[in-house]
């Protein structure tokens, strides 16, 4: 019986391995329960942190540089980040099909551009 459960689980994984899209993130962020709101904010903050760390690893973030998507103010709040990303997705319908982390990067870049950035 255990082997059957393992086989079914292995077969189900490829069916559920779809990318988390901008539309999925937006849908999560529209929910009002505490768990969904926390997950939304955590995803956006995590994606923003991941992008920041990637850019830091390839050239630094001490100032505006080519490829630096956004410059968050030190006092930015989670809700501000969420609002910025949701606004970007609403104003750019094709962003709903983007990978969610791409939508986060672009949304934050629109709301929090780096001064003097060339991108």
Q: Give residue 14's pLDDT.
A: 45
Asked if 107 and 89 touch (Cβ cutoff 8 Å), the reply is yes
Supply the DSSP string of 62-85, one letter for each residue: SS--TT------TT--HHHHHHHH
Q: What range defines the domain where residue 94 resides? A: 18-111
pLDDT-flagged residues of the chain (< 50): 2-16, 64-66, 119
Report the C-alpha gap between 20 and 80 in whole angstroms.
21
- The verdict on residue 52 lying in a domain is yes
- The verdict on residue 4 lying in a domain is no
Q: How many domains does the chain have?
A: 1
Q: Give residue 68's pLDDT.
A: 65
Q: Give residue 6's pLDDT.
A: 43
Beta bridge partners of 21: 99
pTM of the model: 0.74
For tokens 């955590």, the residue is 42
């Amino acid at each position: 019986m255990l082997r059957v459960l393992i086989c079914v689980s292995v077969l189900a994984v490829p069916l559920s391995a779809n990318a988390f899209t901008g539309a999925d993130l937006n849908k999560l962020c529209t929910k009002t329960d505490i768990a969904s709101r926390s997950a939304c904010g955590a995803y956006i903050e995590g994606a923003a942190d991941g992008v920041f760390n990637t850019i830091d690893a390839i050239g630094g973030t001490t100032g505006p540089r080519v490829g630096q998507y956004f410059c968050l103010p030190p006092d930015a709040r989670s809700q501000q980040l969420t609002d910025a990303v949701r606004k970007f997705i609403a104003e750019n319908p094709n962003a709903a099909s983007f990978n969610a982390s791409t939508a986060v990067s672009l949304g934050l870049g629109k709301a929090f551009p780096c001064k003097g950035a060339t991108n």
